[in-house]
Structure 1
Amino acid sequence: MRNPNESLDELRFGFVIVNPLSRGKGYGKAMLTLGLKFVFEIYGAKRASLGGFENNLTAYYCYKAVGFKDVISDAADTYTSSNLLV
Protein backbone atom coordinates (compact mmCIF):
# COMPACT_ATOMS: atom_id res chain seq x y z
CA MET A 1 0.00 0.00 0.00
CA ARG A 2 1.07 3.54 -0.56
CA ASN A 3 -0.22 7.01 0.10
CA PRO A 4 -1.08 8.59 -3.28
CA ASN A 5 -1.64 12.16 -2.05
CA GLU A 6 -0.26 14.74 0.35
CA SER A 7 -3.13 13.91 2.68
CA LEU A 8 -3.01 10.74 4.77
CA ASP A 9 -6.73 10.12 4.17
CA GLU A 10 -6.20 7.47 1.46
CA LEU A 11 -4.17 4.32 1.02
CA ARG A 12 -3.80 2.70 -2.39
CA PHE A 13 -3.32 -1.01 -2.97
CA GLY A 14 -0.75 -2.04 -5.54
CA PHE A 15 0.38 -5.37 -6.91
CA VAL A 16 -2.45 -7.55 -5.62
CA ILE A 17 -1.02 -10.85 -6.86
CA VAL A 18 -2.17 -14.42 -6.28
CA ASN A 19 -0.29 -17.45 -7.60
CA PRO A 20 -2.03 -18.61 -10.80
CA LEU A 21 -2.33 -22.13 -9.36
CA SER A 22 -4.18 -20.76 -6.30
CA ARG A 23 -6.63 -18.44 -8.06
CA GLY A 24 -10.35 -18.98 -7.63
CA LYS A 25 -10.01 -20.13 -4.01
CA GLY A 26 -10.85 -16.82 -2.31
CA TYR A 27 -7.28 -15.82 -1.42
CA GLY A 28 -7.51 -12.48 -3.25
CA LYS A 29 -10.74 -11.56 -1.48
CA ALA A 30 -9.30 -12.61 1.89
CA MET A 31 -6.12 -10.60 1.27
CA LEU A 32 -8.05 -7.48 0.28
CA THR A 33 -10.52 -7.85 3.15
CA LEU A 34 -7.65 -7.99 5.63
CA GLY A 35 -5.97 -5.06 3.86
CA LEU A 36 -9.15 -2.99 4.10
CA LYS A 37 -9.33 -3.73 7.81
CA PHE A 38 -5.81 -2.28 8.12
CA VAL A 39 -6.68 0.76 5.96
CA PHE A 40 -9.73 1.78 7.96
CA GLU A 41 -9.39 0.34 11.47
CA ILE A 42 -5.65 0.51 12.09
CA TYR A 43 -4.30 3.23 9.78
CA GLY A 44 -7.47 5.34 10.02
CA ALA A 45 -7.74 6.31 6.37
CA LYS A 46 -11.07 7.50 4.98
CA ARG A 47 -10.60 5.93 1.54
CA ALA A 48 -8.96 2.91 -0.06
CA SER A 49 -8.22 2.68 -3.77
CA LEU A 50 -6.53 0.44 -6.31
CA GLY A 51 -5.91 0.28 -10.01
CA GLY A 52 -6.41 -2.59 -12.37
CA PHE A 53 -5.88 -3.64 -15.93
CA GLU A 54 -8.93 -3.32 -18.15
CA ASN A 55 -8.49 -6.83 -19.53
CA ASN A 56 -8.27 -8.58 -16.13
CA LEU A 57 -11.93 -9.37 -15.47
CA THR A 58 -11.17 -11.96 -12.79
CA ALA A 59 -9.40 -9.33 -10.67
CA TYR A 60 -12.14 -6.79 -11.44
CA TYR A 61 -14.84 -9.09 -10.04
CA CYS A 62 -12.68 -9.83 -7.00
CA TYR A 63 -12.33 -6.10 -6.30
CA LYS A 64 -16.07 -5.56 -6.74
CA ALA A 65 -16.83 -8.47 -4.39
CA VAL A 66 -14.97 -6.79 -1.52
CA GLY A 67 -16.70 -3.44 -2.09
CA PHE A 68 -14.61 -1.42 -4.55
CA LYS A 69 -16.57 0.80 -6.93
CA ASP A 70 -15.75 1.79 -10.52
CA VAL A 71 -13.89 5.06 -11.06
CA ILE A 72 -12.90 5.82 -14.64
CA SER A 73 -9.70 7.80 -15.12
CA ASP A 74 -8.14 9.09 -18.32
CA ALA A 75 -4.73 9.48 -16.67
CA ALA A 76 -2.45 6.51 -16.14
CA ASP A 77 -0.76 6.25 -12.76
CA THR A 78 3.01 6.20 -12.57
CA TYR A 79 5.07 5.24 -9.56
CA THR A 80 8.60 5.59 -8.35
CA SER A 81 10.23 3.89 -5.40
CA SER A 82 10.12 7.16 -3.47
CA ASN A 83 6.31 7.13 -3.16
CA LEU A 84 5.77 3.57 -1.93
CA LEU A 85 4.81 2.65 1.61
CA VAL A 86 6.30 -0.43 3.24
Structure 2
Amino acid sequence: MKRTLRLRPCKKADGKFLIQWFTDERMMRLWCRDGFTFPLTEKQMVEYYDKLEMETCSWGFTALDEAGKPVGSFQMKADYTAESVHLGYIVVDPKLRGTGAGYEMVSLAVQYAVEILGIKRLTLKVFDTNPGARRCYEKVGFSAESIMEEGFLYQDEMWEVSMMAYTV
Protein backbone atom coordinates (compact mmCIF):
# COMPACT_ATOMS: atom_id res chain seq x y z
CA MET A 1 0.00 0.00 0.00
CA LYS A 2 1.44 3.37 -1.02
CA ARG A 3 1.36 6.01 1.68
CA THR A 4 0.42 9.53 0.72
CA LEU A 5 1.42 12.22 3.17
CA ARG A 6 0.13 15.75 3.15
CA LEU A 7 1.75 18.85 4.62
CA ARG A 8 0.01 21.62 6.49
CA PRO A 9 1.19 24.44 8.75
CA CYS A 10 1.77 23.19 12.27
CA LYS A 11 -0.74 23.80 15.04
CA LYS A 12 -0.20 23.95 18.78
CA ALA A 13 -2.25 20.77 19.18
CA ASP A 14 0.40 18.90 17.14
CA GLY A 15 2.76 19.15 20.11
CA LYS A 16 0.97 16.31 21.90
CA PHE A 17 2.04 13.96 19.11
CA LEU A 18 5.69 15.03 19.27
CA ILE A 19 5.69 14.54 23.05
CA GLN A 20 4.61 10.91 22.52
CA TRP A 21 7.34 10.30 19.92
CA PHE A 22 10.24 11.10 22.26
CA THR A 23 10.28 8.27 24.75
CA ASP A 24 13.96 8.62 25.62
CA GLU A 25 16.37 11.52 25.91
CA ARG A 26 18.85 10.28 23.30
CA MET A 27 16.13 10.15 20.66
CA MET A 28 15.03 13.66 21.58
CA ARG A 29 18.63 15.01 21.44
CA LEU A 30 19.03 13.59 17.92
CA TRP A 31 16.06 15.80 17.01
CA CYS A 32 16.79 19.03 18.86
CA ARG A 33 20.28 18.97 20.39
CA ASP A 34 19.72 21.02 23.56
CA GLY A 35 16.79 23.05 22.23
CA PHE A 36 14.35 21.48 24.70
CA THR A 37 14.59 19.80 28.09
CA PHE A 38 13.73 16.15 28.63
CA PRO A 39 11.06 15.02 29.07
CA LEU A 40 9.38 17.13 26.41
CA THR A 41 6.25 18.83 27.76
CA GLU A 42 3.16 20.45 26.32
CA LYS A 43 4.33 23.79 27.75
CA GLN A 44 7.62 23.57 25.85
CA MET A 45 5.80 22.75 22.63
CA VAL A 46 3.35 25.65 23.03
CA GLU A 47 6.30 28.00 23.61
CA TYR A 48 8.01 26.60 20.50
CA TYR A 49 4.92 27.15 18.34
CA ASP A 50 4.40 30.65 19.82
CA LYS A 51 8.01 31.53 18.91
CA LEU A 52 7.49 30.26 15.36
CA GLU A 53 4.43 32.51 15.06
CA MET A 54 6.57 35.55 15.91
CA GLU A 55 9.38 34.80 13.44
CA THR A 56 8.81 36.28 10.00
CA CYS A 57 11.07 33.87 8.09
CA SER A 58 10.51 30.63 10.05
CA TRP A 59 7.53 28.34 10.16
CA GLY A 60 6.67 24.77 10.99
CA PHE A 61 4.96 22.04 9.03
CA THR A 62 3.17 18.90 10.10
CA ALA A 63 3.00 15.83 7.89
CA LEU A 64 -0.37 14.09 8.00
CA ASP A 65 -1.24 10.53 7.04
CA GLU A 66 -4.26 9.59 4.91
CA ALA A 67 -6.56 9.92 7.93
CA GLY A 68 -5.24 13.39 8.84
CA LYS A 69 -3.21 12.21 11.84
CA PRO A 70 0.17 13.93 12.43
CA VAL A 71 3.04 11.56 11.61
CA GLY A 72 5.93 13.98 11.13
CA SER A 73 7.11 17.51 11.67
CA PHE A 74 9.81 19.94 10.55
CA GLN A 75 10.71 23.62 10.53
CA MET A 76 11.79 25.82 7.62
CA LYS A 77 13.83 28.98 7.99
CA ALA A 78 14.14 31.06 4.83
CA ASP A 79 16.82 33.44 3.65
CA TYR A 80 15.07 34.90 0.63
CA THR A 81 18.05 37.03 -0.40
CA ALA A 82 20.19 33.90 -0.72
CA GLU A 83 17.25 31.90 -2.16
CA SER A 84 17.90 29.38 0.59
CA VAL A 85 15.93 27.46 3.21
CA HIS A 86 17.28 25.58 6.21
CA LEU A 87 15.28 22.58 7.41
CA GLY A 88 15.40 21.75 11.09
CA TYR A 89 13.63 19.87 13.87
CA ILE A 90 12.86 17.05 11.43
CA VAL A 91 11.07 14.10 13.02
CA VAL A 92 8.83 11.21 12.02
CA ASP A 93 6.65 9.10 14.29
CA PRO A 94 9.00 6.30 15.47
CA LYS A 95 6.45 3.68 14.40
CA LEU A 96 6.95 4.82 10.80
CA ARG A 97 10.75 5.03 10.74
CA GLY A 98 12.24 2.82 8.05
CA THR A 99 8.98 2.79 6.04
CA GLY A 100 9.72 5.69 3.69
CA ALA A 101 7.63 8.23 5.61
CA GLY A 102 10.69 10.40 6.34
CA TYR A 103 11.72 10.30 2.70
CA GLU A 104 8.23 11.29 1.62
CA MET A 105 8.00 14.14 4.15
CA VAL A 106 11.43 15.60 3.31
CA SER A 107 10.67 15.25 -0.41
CA LEU A 108 7.48 17.26 0.11
CA ALA A 109 9.49 19.88 2.03
CA VAL A 110 11.91 20.19 -0.90
CA GLN A 111 9.03 20.38 -3.38
CA TYR A 112 7.37 23.16 -1.35
CA ALA A 113 10.60 25.15 -1.02
CA VAL A 114 11.46 24.87 -4.71
CA GLU A 115 8.03 25.13 -6.34
CA ILE A 116 6.18 27.46 -3.97
CA LEU A 117 8.98 29.57 -2.46
CA GLY A 118 11.28 29.60 -5.49
CA ILE A 119 14.23 28.43 -3.40
CA LYS A 120 17.44 27.27 -5.12
CA ARG A 121 19.20 25.70 -2.13
CA LEU A 122 18.11 23.81 0.99
CA THR A 123 20.34 22.87 3.91
CA LEU A 124 20.00 20.75 7.02
CA LYS A 125 22.24 19.36 9.74
CA VAL A 126 22.50 15.73 10.80
CA PHE A 127 24.47 13.93 13.49
CA ASP A 128 26.93 11.18 12.56
CA THR A 129 25.14 9.03 15.15
CA ASN A 130 21.97 9.14 13.05
CA PRO A 131 22.84 7.14 9.90
CA GLY A 132 19.20 6.38 9.10
CA ALA A 133 18.40 10.08 8.82
CA ARG A 134 21.51 10.68 6.70
CA ARG A 135 20.48 7.90 4.27
CA CYS A 136 16.98 9.37 4.07
CA TYR A 137 18.33 12.84 3.20
CA GLU A 138 20.75 11.40 0.64
CA LYS A 139 17.90 9.49 -1.00
CA VAL A 140 15.97 12.78 -1.33
CA GLY A 141 19.00 14.35 -3.02
CA PHE A 142 20.93 16.05 -0.21
CA SER A 143 24.69 15.62 -0.13
CA ALA A 144 27.19 16.17 2.66
CA GLU A 145 28.93 19.51 2.37
CA SER A 146 31.00 19.73 5.50
CA ILE A 147 31.53 18.58 9.04
CA MET A 148 30.62 21.45 11.34
CA GLU A 149 33.34 22.66 13.71
CA GLU A 150 31.06 22.42 16.71
CA GLY A 151 30.09 18.97 17.84
CA PHE A 152 27.46 18.09 20.38
CA LEU A 153 28.32 16.40 23.65
CA TYR A 154 25.65 13.95 24.71
CA GLN A 155 26.51 12.26 27.99
CA ASP A 156 29.99 10.82 27.27
CA GLU A 157 29.66 10.86 23.46
CA MET A 158 30.79 13.62 21.10
CA TRP A 159 28.49 13.71 18.08
CA GLU A 160 29.81 15.22 14.85
CA VAL A 161 27.44 17.46 12.96
CA SER A 162 27.35 17.39 9.15
CA MET A 163 25.87 20.12 6.98
CA MET A 164 23.98 18.68 4.03
CA ALA A 165 22.68 20.61 1.03
CA TYR A 166 20.21 20.18 -1.80
CA THR A 167 20.76 22.47 -4.79
CA VAL A 168 18.39 23.00 -7.70
TM-score, normalized by the shorter chain, greater than 0.5: yes
Structure 1 residue 36: deviation in Å? 0.6
Q: Alignment partner of 1:48: what SS?
A: strand
CA distance in 1, matches of 2:80, 2:104: 29
Q: Alignment partner of 1:15: what SS?
A: strand
CA distance in 2, matches of 1:74, 1:31: 25
Structure 1 residue 55: deviation in Å? 0.7
The runs of 4+ residues in structure 1 deviating greater than 6 Å are none
Q: Alignment partner of 2:77: what SS?
A: coil
Residue 62 of structure 2 is aligned to residue 62 of structure 1: no
Counterpart residue number, 1:30: 104
Q: How many residues align?
A: 76
Instruction: State TM-score, norm by structure 1.
Output: 0.79
Residue 111 of structure 2 is aligned to residue 44 of structure 1: no
Larger Rg: 2
CA distance in 1, matches of 2:99, 2:147: 30
Comparing both structures, which one devotes a greater share of its residues to strand? 2
Give ranges in structure 1 of 5+ residues lacking alignment. Answer: 77-86
Kindly provide the amino acid, as one letter, of the partner of residue 9 in structure 1: E
2:83 to 1, 6, 9: 9
Structure 1 residue 73: deviation in Å? 3.5
Q: Alignment partner of 1:14: what SS?
A: strand
Sequence identity (%) = 32
Give ranges in structure 2 of 5+ residues lacking alignment. Answer: 1-75, 151-168
